[in-house]
Structure 1
Amino acid sequence: MNSLNRQLSPGKNNQNGLVTTEFVIGFLLFFFFLMFWVEICVIGYLSSVVDYAIAESSRTARASANANYDAVFRNAIRNSGDFWTSVVDPNKFTVSVEFYNSINEAASRVGSSVGSDKPIALYRVSYQYEPMFSYLYDADTMNFTREVFAIQEFERDQFSQ
Structure 2
Amino acid sequence: MRHKQKGIASVEFAVGFGAFFLLCITWIEIGYLAHVSAVTDVAIAEAAREAKVASLDHGNRQGSPQSFMRIFKRVVTEETERYGGLVDNDNFRFTVQYLDSVDDLERYQGDCRSKDDTAQEIECGRSKHSALALYAVEYDYTPIFSNLIADPSVLRREVIVIQEYERDAFAI
- The match for 1:76 is 75
Give yes or no for the alignment of 1:129 onto 2:141: yes
Q: Offset of 1:78 from its aligned partner?
A: 2.5
Pick 1 or 2: higher relative contact order, CA cutoff 8 A, min separation 6.
Answer: 2
How far apart are the structure 2 equivalents of 1:146 and 1:119?
A: 20
Q: Offset of 1:16 from its aligned partner?
A: 1.7
Larger Rg: 1
Q: Which runs of 5+ in 2 are unaligned?
A: 56-62, 113-123
Give yes or no for the alignment of 1:115 onto 2:130: no
Change (3 A) 1:90 1:30: same
Q: Which runs of 4+ in 1 moved over 6 A?
A: none
Among 127, 147, 154, the alignment partner of 2:165 is 154
Give yes or no for the alignment of 1:142 onto 2:139: no
Q: Which runs of 5+ in 1 are unaligned?
A: 1-8
- The match for 1:98 is 97
How far apart are the structure 1 equivalents of 2:104 and 2:81?
A: 35
Amino acid at match of 1:107: E
Root-mean-square deviation (Å): 2.0
Q: Offset of 1:119 from its aligned partner?
A: 1.2
Amino acid at match of 2:142: E
Give yes or no for the alignment of 1:58 onto 2:48: yes
Matches within 5 A, 1:5-20: 11-12=3-4, 15-20=5-10
TM-score scaled by length of structure 2? 0.77
Deviation readout 1:81-139 (Å, 9 max, x if unpaired): 7432611111111110000111111211288332122110000111111223425xxxx
How far apart are the structure 2 equivalents of 1:51 and 1:91?
A: 17
Query: Which structure is higher in helix share?
Result: 1
Change (3 A) 1:87 1:99: same
How far apart are the structure 1 equivalents of 2:131 and 2:19?
A: 55
Q: Offset of 1:160 from its aligned partner?
A: 2.5
Change (3 A) 1:62 1:119: same
Percent same amino acid among aligned pairs? 31
Deviation readout 1:63-86 (Å, 9 max, x if unpaired): 101433222212221244743261
Q: Is the 8 A contact 2:40 2:80 kept in 1?
A: no
How far apart are the structure 2 equivalents of 1:61 and 1:85?
A: 23
Q: How many residues align?
A: 147
- The match for 2:17 is 27
